[in-house]
Amino acid sequence: EVHLVESGGGLVQPGGSLRLSCAASGFTFRSYGMNWVRQAPGKGLEWVSFISSSSDVIYYADSVKGRFTISRDNARNSLFLQMNSLRDDDSAVYYCARDQPGSCYYFDYWGQGTLLTVSS
C-alpha cells in the first residue's frame, strides 16, 4: 500500500526558514516524480513544486520560485522542501503527492499533510 507521511511543519516567523520532509513507502520511490501541493486554511489547492524521479527536472510555482528548493533522496525514499524567506501567505497545509511515472500529470496518492504557520 502506498504511504506518504509529511513532517516538519510548525510555527515560523516571517522571513524565517523551515524544511519539510515526506517519507514514502509501498512503492518504488525512485521511479516516480513527486510534488508538493499546499492548501491555505479554508482555501483551495495550489501546486507548489515538482521533482522528477532522478532529480534532473524541477519546476516551481511562480509564488515560491527563488525561495523554495525541492529535493529528494531515493536511497532513503524521502522528499524534501526547503523553504526560505517565508511570508504570511505561505501559511498552509503542505501535502506531498505522487505523480505519474515519467510525466507531470495528476496526483494519484497524497500524504495527510503538515501544517506551516508563518506569523510573528
Partner 1 sequence: EIVLTQSPGTLSLSPGERATLSCRASQSVSSNYLAWYQQRPGQAPRLLIYGASSRATGIPDRFSGSGSVTDFTLTISRLEPEDFAVYYCQQYGDSPRTFGLGTKVEIK
> Which residue ranges make up the site for partner 1 (CB under 8 A)?
44-47, 59, 61-62, 95, 104-113
Q: Measure the CA–CA gap between 59 and 103, rounded to whole angstroms.
A: 12
Q: Measure the CA–CA gap between 94 and 26, rounded to whole angstroms.
A: 21
Q: Which is nearer to partner 1, 16 or 27 (CB)?
A: 27
Smallest distance, Å, CB 98 to partner 1? Answer: 10
Cell of residue 78, nine digits: 524521502
Q: Which is nearer to partner 1, 106 or 120 (CB)?
A: 106
Contact yes or no for 35/50 (Cβ under 8 A): yes
Smallest distance, Å, CB 15 to partner 1? Answer: 26
Cell of residue 33, nine digits: 516524480
Q: Which is nearer to partner 1, 13 or 41 (CB)?
A: 41
Q: Measure the CA–CA gap between 102 and 52, rounded to whole angstroms.
A: 7
Smallest distance, Å, CB 110 to partner 1? Answer: 4
Q: Which is nearer to partner 1, 15 or 57 (CB)?
A: 57
Smallest distance, Å, CB 47 to partner 1? Answer: 5
Neighbours of 19 (CB within 10 A): 13
